[in-house]
Amino acid sequence: MNEADEIAVSLTLGALLEVSGWPKPGNVHRTRDHDDTRFEHFLASAVAAYPVLRELAETAATRDRVPLGRYLYRAVKASRSAHTGGNTNLGILILDTLLAAALARASLHRREVRREARRLARATTEEDAYYLYRAIALAGAGGLKRVRRGDAPDVSDPRRVLEEGITMYDALKSSADRDAVAEDWVNGLKRTLRVGLRVMDLMAEYGDVNEAVVRAFLEELARRPDTLIWRKHGLRTALEVSRRAREVLESAGDDPVTQRRELRLLDEELHARGINPGSTADILAAGLGYACRLGMRP
Amino acid sequence: MNEADEIAVSLTLGALLEVSGWPKPGNVHRTRDHDDTRFEHFLASAVAAYPVLRELAETAATRDRVPLGRYLYRAVKASRSAHTGGNTNLGILILDTLLAAALARASLHRREVRREARRLARATTEEDAYYLYRAIALAGAGGLKRVRRGDAPDVSDPRRVLEEGITMYDALKSSADRDAVAEDWVNGLKRTLRVGLRVMDLMAEYGDVNEAVVRAFLEELARRPDTLIWRKHGLRTALEVSRRAREVLESAGDDPVTQRRELRLLDEELHARGINPGSTADILAAGLGYACRLGMRP
């Protein structure tokens, strides 16, 4: 298998393992669908993005300029066409397109991947921003629109970014304070890469991929308020969910958390209240892709 | 997306939708692992085979001779390397390699796909058989060994097929009477293609991909005794399981079967007794791949 395929296989599997992490409280997972998106929509989305991620990795390995925005748009388009549900993987693909390009240009070492990711992010252009906004509109997510504070352009007219000279880096930087995906993209995937390494530690410790995935998710949720919850339900709710995640981890101690009653109750409650820690899940999906590229095997 | 990628996306998604069909009684599925194989192993296997299926489709579209056995071996090898579990997808890949090649050469019409599949199957050589046996040994399946009746060569020494002039077609034909996968391969995927069309009908009828997948599975199981059960537990047990599948379908009538208590009880019982209708699942996975190629979207 060539390197571009290895990258695409890893990132695709990362997305599949993330959505299969069970029960990740509040997310779509094996036994939980949302109104407009169901488990199978995530499966179809992940596979549909494969050929775009592979081609992106090939391009990044051989060309100087990498049209990240255009690849993001193509990946979102392929994913949208593959199922009938709502937005499944815009956040994952924002991270995974940058990760695929960085992995194709660097060694696998976290520091080198990060340096390359930062370099690629800073080199993005107005054209990349144009396609970013088209991807957001196509995904039907609107997350970036909701967090903009006057300085990011209106999603409804992507052409404005061309006129105003706003790059993809500028656009995502202006959302970084209230969108964990944008923040991590701007930061050269710092959090994504850390989470990937953490999952590998947990896998070594527990020898069970589902346990490692769910535990890594709870740890991230406990550490940082989820920005999707923040945007939809306010900071107070986001902080409450983080505290609840911490309590589940503490109630389990060193024992498997996935067997715990508290975890299942939290999952039920978040679904009942319509609360979805989706930003944390996006970071985890990309982090799992990095872990798979590093050789993690379920 | 080019056609080879479209074929690989479809067959990969077919395998993912099959293992996610829930609860397909007796199989590994979302909430059931087996001792040596778990749900995540099937996810990893399916994705790992993608690049091999794509390359096979490209080769089949452009070259006269298609080394089916070698591609099968490569796909099994990639799948085995992607996880730490037991055999997950040997049967699926025997069907999917032939299906990928046939789809790359024919229109999507069932009759044409079947004609091309028969032609490709009959054109296989001793070299294909050599790699078939190496793939079986690598998968750790041994199914073909168990059903051989003196006329198929010993799996433990794949080189014998080269000396004895046995082709892949000969080898699979000699197992066809007690292995549904081998039978369908020799038959130009007749059953696989029919199941794929049936799933599309069920999808149109119920509008729910899981319902369509589980119902198609039960219908197939009701129609024909599962040959993996037959080989492991005897024909009597295989016929009993088929009768039970029929009873579940009849108890549900036109209502969704996946909500039914009878289905869950059958799943629990088969798992407790170690009975896995694995051949039927293999046919369904490949059939779902055909349905996805025909445009079925979850």
Q: Is pLDDT of B4 > 60?
A: yes
The shortest CB-CB distance from B5 to any of A9, A51, A82 is to A51
> Which residues are registered as beta bridge partners of A270?
none
Residue pairs spanning A and B at CB distance below 8 A: 100
Are A241 and A225 contacting, i.e. CB atoms less than 8 angstroms apart?
A: yes
Chain A residues with CB inside 8 Å of B2's CB? Answer: 51
- Mutate which of A10, A11, A50 to test chain B, going by most B C-beta atoms within 10 A? A50
**How large is the average pLDDT for residues B58-67?**
96
CATH topology of domain B3-206+283-293: Triphosphoribosyl-dephospho-CoA protein (1.10.4200)
pLDDT at B24 over 80: yes
Res B163: pLDDT: 83
% pLDDT > 70, chain A: 95
* Residue A141 banded pLDDT, cuts 50, 70, 90: low
A-chain residues near B212 (CB < 8 A):
none
How far apart, in whole angstroms, are the C-alpha atoms of residue B92 and residue B109?
21
pLDDT number for residue B141? 67
A188, pLDDT greater than 70: yes
pLDDT at residue number A62: 95
Confidence of residue B151 (pLDDT cuts 50, 70, 90): low
How close does chain A come to B42, measured CA to CA in Å? 10
Q: What six digits make up the tokens of A70?
A: 């255009």
Section A30-40 average pLDDT: 94
The answer to whether A237 and A275 are in contact (CB under 8 A) is yes
At residue A56, the 3 state secondary structure works out as helix
User: B161 versus A14: which is more confidently predicted?
Assistant: A14
Position A144 pLDDT exceeds 60: no
Under an 8 Å CB criterion, which residues of A touch B? 1, 5, 8-9, 12-13, 16-17, 20, 22, 30-31, 38-41, 43-44, 47-48, 50-51, 54, 78, 81-85, 209-210, 297-298
Does A3-206+284-293 carry CATH code 1.10.4200?
A: yes
Q: What is the DSSP letter of B153?
A: P
Cα separations (Å) of B175 from B102, B143, B210, B277?
22, 9, 32, 18
Token pair 């990740």 is found at A24
Read off the pLDDT of each residue in A168-176 and give the average, rounded to a whole number: 95
> What mean pLDDT value characterizes chain B?
93
Residue of B nearest to A47 (CA): B9
- The span from the CA of B213 to the CA of B240, in Å, is 21
- Please state the rounded mean pLDDT for residues B9-36: 96
Nearest CA in chain A to B85: A298
Q: Decide if A47 and B9 are in contact by the 8 Å CB cutoff.
A: yes
Q: Predicted confidence band at B159 (pLDDT cuts at 50, 70, 90)?
A: confident
Q: What is the pLDDT of residue A149?
A: 47
pLDDT exceeds cutoff 80 at A152: no
A84/B297 CB distance under 8 A:
yes
pLDDT at B162: 81
ipTM: 0.95
Torsion of CA B84, B18, B296, A84, to 10 degrees: -70
The two three-digit tokens of residue A98, written as one number = 């940058």
pLDDT tens-digit map of A95-139: 999 999 999 999 999 999 999 999 999 999 999 999 999 999 999
pLDDT score, position A147: 40
The whole-model pTM stands at: 0.95
Per-residue model confidence (pLDDT) at position B239? 98
CA–CA gap between residue B147 and residue B132 (Å, rounded): 15
pLDDT at site B148: 43
The pLDDT assigned to A146 comes to: 44
Read off the pLDDT band of A151 (50, 70, 90): low
The tens digit of pLDDT for each residue in B248-287 reads 999 988 889 988 899 999 999 999 999 999 999 999 999 9
pLDDT tops 90 at residue A60 = yes
For chain B, give every domain's residue range. Answer: 3-206+283-293
